[in-house]
Chains A and B, each alone.
Chain A
């Protein structure tokens, strides 16, 4: 991600200094773009709608004469929404602007065709598909002008010098192969489990709200916010029950600010404070979903008993 953005930005400085990203990029793109701003580049952030989906027309409108790169996340890691990267890629191609997409969450899980989708640069990570940590890949379409990542011994056409980590790369490739083999069946299995979990929570917990889009979302992502309870407390209660989860609450961040992704949906801070993300994976079984549905209502109930706001709720 770092390389794609910095490499394209610096190599194409003579053509322009404007980049477009979304307001819901992973922090690796967001913070890289922020750093590029300190280096004299301009960045426009495109906001999603309330369901967390970007409108390609908004991106078309943001394009200027000096725009050199558009970078959009495919599957949002927090709220799970899937972005229309095919439509965005088409717009970029028509305007002769490079298009980079972060597919960390979708690689090996959803078919991606760099030609049909007009993708010029694409990044994916090994550890997100059960490969070894420390390996990732950047696809660079032939002809894309990009500065090298490092300077040194000439490996990988002088673009990424330094000795490669062969075991990690082999592991990554094997992980990708396995993902591709099971893609159709595994995604169907996860979608069924995900829908069961979403429906179960909505039915059994009053004052629960799904964030993100009900259907245009990652097969493995569930994100809710609950009235009158705080996310870190929910996560801790679940942790003590053997369930790993995460939250976008201000309380769980080092700088006490809520998740920028949740705020970009137009959620006020105190609603983001009650957020809970549950993600599924290869090891998640139907029993895990049943167990979560069995204990989560009690967790929310217990925390609401402590909350001063419950009275207004009952």
Chain B
């Protein structure tokens, strides 16, 4: 069984450093995959700092996750939380599945969608933060949110006793 995944994926799975809730998070992203059924919740805390040019910038101070899913889903969630800690919001939104998979070493082809789901969760958490604080939402993020929201409604129907 443990030859499907590499050592790093297994290490993240065995001891995911960033699992759990953040109490009173600044942003919370809830996503799920309608095909396989995995569900991820990603929490963020946002901080303020000065960037290199002395301008104010917002960054992800903390990120944590809760995941109902397989080994790859749990490892991907953990990887995303680890990668985005300390990144500015603008940088975090640029995160690609390639970076997540790179961080993990690799993922079996059938599990690539798990890394995509973890990125969706992050983007949703950022969207949630921007929306709550009435900040400008990049059009691309908004579009993505609308897509995810549609899925979300179907998922909530499926997991109605759980959500």
B7 to chain A, nearest CB (A): 12
List the A residue with the shortest CB-CB distance to B35.
A256
Q: Are B19 and A306 in contact (CB under 8 A)?
A: yes
Q: Are B161 and A230 in contact (CB under 8 A)?
A: no
Report Cα–Cα, A211/B10, bound state, in Å: 29
Q: Are B158 and A270 in contact (CB under 8 A)?
A: yes
Report Cα–Cα, A229/B74, bound state, in Å: 11
A36 to chain B, nearest CB (A): 29
| Set of chain B residues within 8 Å of A239, measured between Cβ atoms | 1-2
Which residue in B1, B16, B30, B110 is a CB contact (below 8 Å) of A306?
B16
| Set of chain B residues within 8 Å of A254, measured between Cβ atoms | 110
| Set of chain B residues within 8 Å of A232, measured between Cβ atoms | 70-71
Of B37-45, B51-59, B85-93, the segment with at least 4 beta carbons within 8 Å of chain A is: B37-45
Main secondary structure of the interface of B (DSSP, over half): mixed
CB-contacts of A230-264 with B (<8 A): 230, 232-233, 235-236, 239-240, 244, 249-252, 254, 256, 258
The answer to whether A175 has its CB under 8 Å from any CB of chain B is: no
The answer to whether B25 has its CB under 8 Å from any CB of chain A is: no
Report Cα–Cα, A148/B125, bound state, in Å: 63
A249 to chain B, nearest CB (A): 7
The answer to whether A134 has its CB under 8 Å from any CB of chain B is: no
Report Cα–Cα, A233/B20, bound state, in Å: 17
The answer to whether A269 has its CB under 8 Å from any CB of chain B is: yes
| Set of chain B residues within 8 Å of A252, measured between Cβ atoms | 70
Report Cα–Cα, A44/B65, bound state, in Å: 46
Report Cα–Cα, A310/B67, bound state, in Å: 10
| Set of chain A residues within 8 Å of B103, measured between Cβ atoms | none
Report Cα–Cα, A229/B67, bound state, in Å: 9
For chain B, give the interface size range.
20 to 34
Q: Are A228 and B70 in contact (CB under 8 A)?
A: no
The answer to whether A309 has its CB under 8 Å from any CB of chain B is: yes
The answer to whether A268 has its CB under 8 Å from any CB of chain B is: yes
B36 to chain A, nearest CB (A): 5
Report Cα–Cα, A256/B111, bound state, in Å: 10
CB-contacts of B49-80 with A (<8 A): 65-74
B157 to chain A, nearest CB (A): 11
Which residue in B1, B2, B73, B159 is a CB contact (below 8 Å) of A270?
B159
Known: A230-B70, A233-B13, A307-B67. A244 touches B158 (CB 8 A): no
Known: A228-B68, A230-B69. A273 touches B37 (CB 8 A): yes
Q: Are B162 and A251 in contact (CB under 8 A)?
A: no
CB-contacts of A202-247 with B (<8 A): 228-230, 232-233, 235-236, 239-240, 244
Known: A240-B2, A256-B36. A306 touches B161 (CB 8 A): no
Q: Are A233 and B158 in contact (CB under 8 A)?
A: no
Known: A254-B110, A270-B158. A306 touches B36 (CB 8 A): no
A47 to chain B, nearest CB (A): 22
Residue of B41, B69, B74, B161 with most partner-chain A CB within 10 A: B69
The answer to whether B14 has its CB under 8 Å from any CB of chain A is: yes
Report Cα–Cα, A129/B16, bound state, in Å: 40
| Set of chain B residues within 8 Å of A308, measured between Cβ atoms | 30, 39-41, 66-68
List the A residue with the shortest CB-CB distance to B109.
A254
The answer to whether A150 has its CB under 8 Å from any CB of chain B is: no
Q: Are B110 and A256 in contact (CB under 8 A)?
A: yes
The answer to whether A144 has its CB under 8 Å from any CB of chain B is: no
A5 to chain B, nearest CB (A): 30
Q: Are B68 and A309 in contact (CB under 8 A)?
A: yes
Report Cα–Cα, A172/B71, bound state, in Å: 38
7 contacts between A and B (CB under 8 A): A230-B73, A233-B13, A236-B10, A250-B36, A256-B36, A256-B110, A307-B68
